[in-house]
């Protein structure tokens, strides 16, 4: 976690993906069609305390949210629901802090929190990669 804080001194964004070096930032896959995954992910995100869904575009599978930190900074978060095949979907998260200072690892922690909540809700459908 110290390494994340040090990286966060300089960097104010974090994202997940297929090729992420950090195993905790790898895309999460679920055995659900894109439409079903979209419904589940969207309803779960809307219930997360401290997060506000600003808009959602189902056709491209993007949910845009914001979160205010304890220090009053705003974080912009984009959650993408991607169809891998008709029966499997992937979920990726991009989180960025507004302002010029680093985030001290807060974007990293936000991504892990979102994944933890989604995995709890969609645990039965999770595909371990």
The whole-number pLDDT of residue 72 equals 83
φ and ψ at residue 43, rounded to 5 degrees: -65, -35
Return left, alpha or beta for 90; rule: phi > 0 is left, psi -120 to 50 is alpha, else beta. beta
Domains with residue ranges and CATH for the chain: 2-127 (3.30.310.220)
Helices 34-46, 106-121: axis angle to 10 degrees equals 120
Helix pair 106-121, 2-10: axis angle to 10 deg: 120
Question: What whole-number percentage of the chain has pLDDT above 70?
Answer: 91
Q: Estimate to the nearest angstrom the gap between the alpha carbon of 100 and the chain centroid.
A: 22
pLDDT-flagged residues of the chain (< 70): 1-10, 129
Q: What is the pLDDT of residue 2?
A: 56
Torsion of CA 94, 21, 8, 91, to 10 degrees: 20
Using alpha carbons, select from 29, 115, 126 the residue that is nearest to residue 77: 115
Q: Which residues contact 11 (CB under 8 A, 6 or more apart)?
A: 102, 103
Contact 93, 103 (CB under 8 A): no
């Amino acid at each position: 976690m110290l390494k994340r804080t040090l990286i966060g001194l300089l960097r104010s964004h974090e994202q997940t993906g297929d090729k992420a070096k950090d195993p905790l930032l790898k895309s999460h896959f679920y055995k659900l069609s894109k439409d079903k995954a979209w419904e589940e992910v969207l309803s779960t995100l809307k219930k997360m305390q401290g997060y506000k869904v600003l808009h959602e575009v189902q056709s491209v599978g993007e949910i845009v949210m914001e979160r205010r930190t304890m220090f009053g900074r705003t974080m912009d978060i984009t959650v993408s629901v991607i169809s891998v095949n008709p029966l499997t979907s992937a979920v990726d998260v991009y989180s960025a802090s507004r302002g010029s200072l680093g985030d001290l690892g807060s974007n990293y922690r936000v991504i892990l929190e979102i994944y933890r909540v989604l995995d709890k809700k969609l645990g039965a459908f999770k595909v371990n990669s």
